[in-house]
Structure 1
Amino acid sequence: MWRCPLGLLLLLSLAGHVALGAKQGRVRRELAPGLHLRGIRDGGRYCQEQDLCCRGRADDCALPYLGAICYCDLFCNRTVSDCCPDFWDFCLGVPPPFPPIQGCMHGGRIYPVLGTYWDNCNRCWQAGNHSAFWGMTLDEGIRYRLGTIRPSSLVMNMHEIYTVLNPGEVLPTAFEASEKWPNLIHEPLDQGNCAGSWAFSTAAVASDRVSIHSLGHMTPVLSPQNLLSCDTHQQQGCRGGRLDGAWWFLRRRGVVSDHCYPFSGRERDEAGPAPPCMMHSRAMGRGKRQATARCPNSHVNNNDIYQVTPVYRLGSNDKEIMKELMENGPVQALMEVHEDFFLYKGGIYSHTPVSLGRPERYRRHGTHSVKITGWGEETLPDGRTLKYWTAANSWGPAWGERGHFRIVRGVNECDIESFVLGVWGRVGMEDMGHH
């Protein structure tokens, strides 16, 4: 059975599947056409004969090749290649880009990535090169672009709240939170090279839930930076954190808006000190809190504190997640991010196990958290149905489908249905007149 995403790796290898960028110190050679553009197709087994597949940026992986230098390391520039001819198939296990094919190759025919094609009921989701990831290895992508620590066994064993579907209740085949609650569902933010998805996904879900549960009287974009800088108990800011700790902080301390306390940590700097907390709150009675400092953004005066009720875990049955989402708003989901997810550009994602059988470093993955906003389905040519979730990532609007993605639903793809959380915004009657 042919799986189109396998052919996509022709494109992935160009887009920088393992290393998305150029190696420092190779600038001169990169001004010349890439080796493969000169028609060199002798298939020299350089990497295989030398048993070289170096990690990162390794000049000792260099070999002379037809008057040029070629490399067997993971930092080859994919668009103007200085890789040895067998680097792709020997080191990465993907076909070499001869010629550079922008699409899926199947049966001797190239299918451009701008369309969707079916074969034997398998779908080709689109991949592309994201400029935000240029110059990053897979290791760095996992270290800096995710940042949710897998919950402890105690938290993973949280009791699930089961949603009971009424007899005969039928959920719609498609649903999108932004259509049910217009202007109350917020667009994805960009965590940059801050491993803080624990704070971004929590703030994103809380923003939507507070807006929905206040019937639109409060529509804040809540501040991930408030969590990153101030929720420090067993949390590591831009070096990772836990969802249960983030929700505890939102319930007990609360956070201000992103406008009041904007995100500052876009660049990775593991050596530098974490930015200090610039917002604290005190109890006002009845569980409500108020800020004890001005907004870090001096142009904003509104330093209202927003809180939530205790977080709850949903059952992992997709129908229960769907009913909760439709009734109460977007939910938070844990997921495993694999190497091909970084290059997702559109379509219904499912992890393509093309790196199986390769060394472990090519199939690293890490834990991430995202906001599920809806669902849908597509009918395959043979009449079967492909079901999917729609979700918001925190890698900015240029990634994926305007910052969102679709992923196969109902089969726990990438563990996305294994740990799903909901929460209620803490909204009192006095907030209902509050804008």
Structure 2
Amino acid sequence: MSGDMRALLCLWLVAQVALVAQVAVSSRLRTRRELGPGLYQHGVYDAGGSYCQRGDVCCRGRDDACTVPYHDTLCYCDLFCNRTVSDCCPDFWEYCLGIPAPFPKAPGCARAGRDYPPGATYRENCNLCTCGPGGQWQCEDRACLMDGELIDAINRGNYGWRAANYSQFWGMTLEDGIRHRLGTFRPSPTVMNMNELHMNMDSNEALPRHFDAAAKWPGMIHEPLDQGNCAGSWAFSTAAVASDRISIHSMGHMSPALSPQNLLACDTRNQRGCSGGRLDGAWWYLRRRGVVTDECYPFTSQQSQPAAPPCMMHSRSTGRGKRQATARCPNPQTHSNEIYQSTPAYRLSSSEKEIMKELLENGPVQAILEVHEDFFMYKSGIYRHTPVAEGKGPKHQRHGTHSVKITGWGEEQLPDGQTQKYWVSLGGAQPWGAAASPRPCGVRLDFFFGGCHRAERVPCPLCRRRPTRGARRGARAATFASPAASTSARWRLSWWGSGAASAWRTCPTSEPPTPPPRGRAPGPHTQG
């Protein structure tokens, strides 16, 4: 074959390849637009929307770049869009051609002056609303933690307290609030049948009308920590009360803010971490294992879940009940990993005056209360449960068990001249903080406390040993007896601060007298 023939053959082959490539490109273009399903198989969505007009675009012929965002896709403003299968923007015909759209308006839903296609969704507080096929919004009907109707009803009524809408609770269901913002299990019958510890006081002894632990012990009452969406009030309230008592009974020489995270992660015996726990279990762990400070082991906010995070703080016994940390602080910025321990928990008397004297002499106490649906809306005043949710049905009436730190009490004069008494409580589930702490009244409270206390209140003499040289350089020695200690011949006195800085010894005594049996009394109602 001559050279000219070979050249012509090569040119023909190149032309054929180019033709095939052009056909392939054309096929892809047709696949993208011409073979597409179009936008208006079921009518025009958002027919009154501004698309071509907003972008001020109307293109002649075919221009695949002449587009405007349309929901989750693109619409076109070129003449090519106006074909059998249309992908034009809703306002193309009126804005670019000056004629009505040839497609009917889709049966969408209107909201706030805009049209939405079927299947569109939005949230109304804790309820999800979906645009149905009939052009109507279909919304869930769940009880929300923040309920505007209840807030208005409480503020209109004469209930003695004000309600508010808290943005951090907006979008949560009432079920979520009860499940994730409380977290104390009801005490077992064994715990509820504990003998009440009574104060030595004269029945005619006068107590102040108002009391604030922070005013009596400045710098020793710790601010409440926010437990977030962790149902761990059992750990937060226990750590808070123990922290204050250590500060008070060491006369300020020790002022640790104990770690609730240490309890949440490491106290796993019949406890569920951020899904709830028992107060008696928390005090048992604080007595037998001890915890570090919140600075050493800070709280890690987490959603309530059955599986607790792994424990990152371990300790070992150094003899005679004391323990020493065997791990460094999870917070690498802190190096002090002292272990703080407590004496066993005990149940306070149901007498209002005895609880007040306990608080007055020894510091904050721990209480368990029933929380109802309106508790999360509290803003100011003396809280009491209201009946405003009764007219909305059973799903709007929920309650759960919560534990708080009681730091004081007071009285308030009502418009009718009567005096209303209340307790001042601090907890980790509320958004108001310490400045406007809830003052519950007419709420059932069961009072407990675990920790150090004064020796004259137990049938065992206080034993104290001369502090060692290390103790004098460190924290002040403070050893107290436990009312729940074993009734053996030798009572071990087990309150200390940390390390070798405290002195302690065992105290041989005779068998202490068995306290007389006492019937279970109902929790105090502080209504005046």
Partner Cα distance (1:29, 1:395) in 2: 39
**Unmatched tracts of structure 2, length 5 or more:** 1-107, 115-125, 455-463, 478-500, 503-528
Partner Cα distance (1:424, 1:31) in 2: 61
Partner Cα distance (1:165, 1:30) in 2: 70
SS at match of 1:312: strand
8 Å CA contact retained: 2:242, 2:451: yes
Task: Return the offset for 1:285.
Answer: 2.5
Determine whether 1:129 maps to 2:165: yes
Determine whether 1:160 maps to 2:196: yes
Change (3 A) 1:123 1:33: farther
- Residues 24-423 of structure 1 correspond to what in structure 2 (within 5 A)? 32=112, 57=127, 69=137, 71=139, 73-74=141-142, 104-105=155-156, 122-264=158-300, 266-268=301-303, 270=305, 273-356=307-390, 358-395=392-429, 398-399=431-432, 402=435, 404-408=437-441, 413-416=442-445, 418-423=446-451
What TM-score results when the alignment is normalised by the length of structure 2?
0.60
Opposite residue 222 of structure 2, the aligned amino acid is: H
Task: Return the offset for 1:209.
Answer: 0.5
8 Å CA contact retained: 2:261, 2:294: yes
What TM-score results when the alignment is normalised by the length of structure 1?
0.72
| Residues 81-100 of structure 1: per-residue CA shift (max 9 Å, x gap) | 9xxxxxx6xxxxx6xx9xxx
8 Å CA contact retained: 1:198, 1:246: yes
Partner Cα distance (2:264, 2:284) in 1: 13
Opposite residue 302 of structure 2, the aligned amino acid is: E
Change (3 A) 1:263 1:381: same
1:432 counterpart residue number? 476
| Residues 342-394 of structure 1: per-residue CA shift (max 9 Å, x gap) | 01111110000222365322111100100000000011233210111101011
Partner Cα distance (1:423, 1:375) in 2: 21
Partner Cα distance (1:62, 1:105) in 2: 36
Task: Return the offset for 1:274.
Answer: 2.5
Partner Cα distance (1:245, 1:311) in 2: 10
Partner Cα distance (2:249, 2:409) in 1: 21
Task: Return the offset for 1:293.
Answer: 0.7
Equivalences, count = 346
Partner Cα distance (1:127, 1:249) in 2: 37
| Structure whose CA Rg is larger | 2
Partner Cα distance (2:434, 2:251) in 1: 28
Task: Return the offset for 1:332.
Answer: 0.3
**Unmatched tracts of structure 1, length 5 or more:** 1-27, 35-55, 82-87, 89-93, 107-121
Partner Cα distance (1:151, 1:134) in 2: 31
Change (3 A) 1:228 1:103: closer
The CA RMSD over aligned residues, in Å, is 3.3
Partner Cα distance (1:231, 1:425) in 2: 24
Task: Return the offset for 1:270.
Answer: 2.8
- Residues 10-29 of structure 1 correspond to what in structure 2 (within 5 A)? none
8 Å CA contact retained: 1:311, 1:424: no
Larger RCO, structure (CA 8 Å, separation 6 or more): 1
Task: Return the offset for 1:215.
Answer: 0.8
Partner Cα distance (1:326, 1:403) in 2: 21
8 Å CA contact retained: 2:146, 2:169: no
8 Å CA contact retained: 2:146, 2:170: no
